[in-house]
Amino acid sequence: MSAAFDEMKGLDGGVRPAYGELARWLKEVPPDVLDYRRREAELIFRRIGITFAVYGEADASERLIPFDVIPRILSATEWRLLEKGLAQRVKALNMFIKDVYGARECLRAGVVPEDMVFRNPAFRPEMSGQKVPHDIYVHIAGIDIIRVDAETFYVLEDNARTPSGVSYMLENREIMMRLFPELFSRHRIAPVENYPDELLATLKSAAPQSAMREPTVVLLTPGVFNSAYYEHSFLADKLGVELVEGRDLFVKNEVVYMRTTQGPRRVDVIYRRIDDDFLDPLTFRPDSALGVPGLMSAYQAGNVTLSNAVGTGIADDKAIYSFMPAILKFFLGEEPILKTVPTWRCREPDQLAYVLDHLNELVVKEVHGSGGYGMLIGPTASKIAIEQFRAKLKAAPENFIAQPTLALSTCPTCVDEGVAPRHVDLRPFVLTGSDKVRIVPGGLTRVALKHGSLVVNSSQGGGTKDTWVLDG
């Protein structure tokens, strides 16, 4: 694995222009001040109650995601490249999902193997031939980006189902403005606080044709026991829309209504934070108490927009990910602006043979995995872990892909021993409405706080940073 690219110091050790002001400030600020502000940030997070639950732990306890007080900075030029690449990618994702549930031209052309789609647990046969309002499937995408040098950005994965984390992007910015006004005054930073307005405009633009001129938008949550409930309530509040659970909605004559104290009110757009399986007990899991009976009938009649659409999980698949350059080429006739990590599909015998021979060099991931679980990082894994993974791969090769261990870039981070480089990734949020694509400059930077660790997921001990895009 090559040496990691340091976003502040570059390869020659000189401070890169975007970080000039921050580097000067870090020299001036006494270490105890940084430490004091770090503790202050933690207190604020505790007070406002930003936590997430870690499933699978004995008490599924609520945890605070560690927040790093040193921002990650991108220049305007870097951001323009990212923005172009993100818009291109999400456009292709939307076209791919529409095609998979419609004409299936990319399958007939052999761009993606049919069985990889039809046997995929995220494929929803109920969506075949189904029109969705404005042909938009992914209204909200979270695209995970890593960087390996000054010019090169890779997409690590696409989150097209129910991407989370935007509340941290907004809260991180607010806390930085409160704690470091003097650092803000030394930079011109593009704002992120208009994200809720942009999201609401996107959702309203996606309302079905039959909606009133001022569509009613609601945010559907599984409820207080969901690990992302804080974000659901935070976003509903910022958007100025009702936060509802399945029991607050009902369907009559293929139209969705919300129960209110003034009587039923028609609902046009549902920003849902519930998985497909639980949306409608009449169509999917009959034991779901979280969904709305009959919701799919209203959806199929074109009377409500579900954001994101049902069945978008097909585009989150890590094996489908490996076909993205071909998908982009097929639908847009363009080369990808953002690179795709070279990927071995273990379902293919020759690729599996290569992976089994090089397990100690590769990262192996479950095709449907998320949250940093169920993966092997070969270079840092024990011999026992490697052999256990070898057995898993031989037993069910189609469940895994493998990738080279990329050297994620590093950013200066405030850790117990002072300021030190730590590996980061970035999740920008791409909003696709019927009128336009909106991308708020920045996103959620996740940081691996353990020395040498490449795993940035909060469930695996990672933290977050504010992401600054310089204006002009």
pTM here is 0.94
Quote the pLDDT of residue 51: 58
Quote the pLDDT of residue 53: 52
Angle, alpha carbons 220-222-124 (nearest 5°):
80
Q: What is the mean pLDDT of the chain?
A: 92
Quote the pLDDT of residue 31: 83
The full DSSP string for 83-95 is HHHHHHHHHHHHH
Torsion of CA 15, 19, 20, 25, to 10 degrees: -110
The Cα 26–Cα 31 span in angstroms is 9
Extract the tokens encoding 345: 């599909």
Quote the pLDDT of residue 63: 67
Quote the pLDDT of residue 56: 43
Tens digits of residue pLDDT in 45-56: 888 776 555 444
Quote the pLDDT of residue 59: 45
Under DSSP, the state recorded for 13 is S
Amino acid at 119: R
pLDDT value at 143 more than 90 = yes
Cross-strand bridge partners of residue 414:
419
Extract the tokens encoding 139: 């209204």
pLDDT value at 251 more than 60 = yes
The Cα 275–Cα 313 span in angstroms is 9
Tens digits of residue pLDDT in 177-228: 999 999 999 999 999 999 999 999 999 999 999 887 899 999 999 999 888 8
The full DSSP string for 304-316 is -EEESPTTGGGGT
Quote the pLDDT of residue 387: 93
pLDDT value at 58 more than 80 = no
Quote the pLDDT of residue 452: 83
Q: Provide mean pLDDT across the span 247-273.
A: 97
Q: Provide mean pLDDT across the span 318-346.
A: 95
The Cα 119–Cα 128 span in angstroms is 14
pLDDT value at 371 more than 60 = no
pLDDT value at 1 more than 90 = no
**What does the chain come to in residues?**
472
* Three-class SS state of 179: helix
Tens digits of residue pLDDT in 63-73: 678 899 999 99
Place of tokens 């069985």: 115
The Cα 280–Cα 296 span in angstroms is 7
